[in-house]
Copies of this chain bind each other. A is one copy, B any other.
């Protein structure tokens, strides 16, 4: 049981953050792998509702890899990955869109509404929010896209009107074809275009490690250090889109970028309202 003075101290620490965050946009990437525990998912979404409640403008970008894989199995399509990116033929894309924009997106919306927020679920096609083109790569990834243009109009309107936008990482190409984009990239691009105050990647690791030892968690890394870790192969696999999206967001002027362990209770809330660092902060230099 806390004493009243201990409580007062927490408040005295938190209140100035609340004021300084008022009206600020916070992009939260909520990864598919961080969604596995319903209890934690509830905590994350409730924290986001609280953030909105006290005047911030959270924008959620979600993933959904495990669920897509499961549904591809149901319709007998084999999932295939190259460098952490899903190879996507038309049949796969059709399933991916249905899972991301139909099932997961609307499920998150429904939960947020249950917890007292007002969510609106969108994908990159809605309001022409994200324009994409096929990702250039050595091996053909199929309908995997990369962002070419962001129109934040619809997000700004919804945030201003009290809604919490929830974005599925699916977009249209210039001829209307559907493209699948890595959710980390989408989060970074939206963060940059919205001139977000913070970009938080909620994932299923504690942050970035400098080597294999768990005590090597980096609390702060700059661009040069990240590029070295990639070159050395320490940063690899699914962590690559994350750090690339961080670097892109840094380049667009997002000041505060954090890779945070979504499996820790209230990781978001503590990241927002206390002085303690959590996970790895990515900075310019």
Contact = CB atoms under 8 A, between A and B. Distances in A.
B123 A122 contact: no
Contacts of A221: none
A170 to B, nearest CB: 7
A22 B176 CA distance: 29
Interface stretch (A96-104, A141-149, A188-196, A238-246): A96-104
A4 B53 contact: no
Contact of A12 (B94, B105, B128, B269): B269
Interface stretch (A24-32, A33-41, A108-116): A108-116
Contacts of A100: 102
A2 interface: yes
A120 B121 CA distance: 10
A55 B15 CA distance: 10
A18 interface: yes
Contacts of A97: 102-103, 106
Contact of A7 (B113, B158, B270): B270
B172 A110 contact: yes
A11 B14 contact: yes
A213 interface: no
Interface residues of A, number: 66
Main secondary structure of the interface of A (DSSP, over half): helix
A156 to B, nearest CB: 10
A6 B276 CA distance: 13
A75 B87 CA distance: 22
A247 B135 CA distance: 51
A276 B7 CA distance: 11
A220 interface: no
Contact of A106 (B6, B101, B109): B101
Given A265-B5, A269-B11, A270-B7, A122 B120 contact: yes
A149 to B, nearest CB: 13
B19 A54 contact: yes
A111 to B, nearest CB: 6
- Give the residue among A122, A125, A154, A157 with the most B Cβ atoms within 10 A: A125
Interface of A: 2, 4-8, 10-12, 14-16, 18-19, 22, 46, 50, 53-55, 74-75, 94, 97-103, 105-106, 109-111, 113-114, 118-123, 125-128, 153-154, 157-158, 161, 163, 170, 172, 175-176, 178, 264-266, 269-270, 273-274, 276
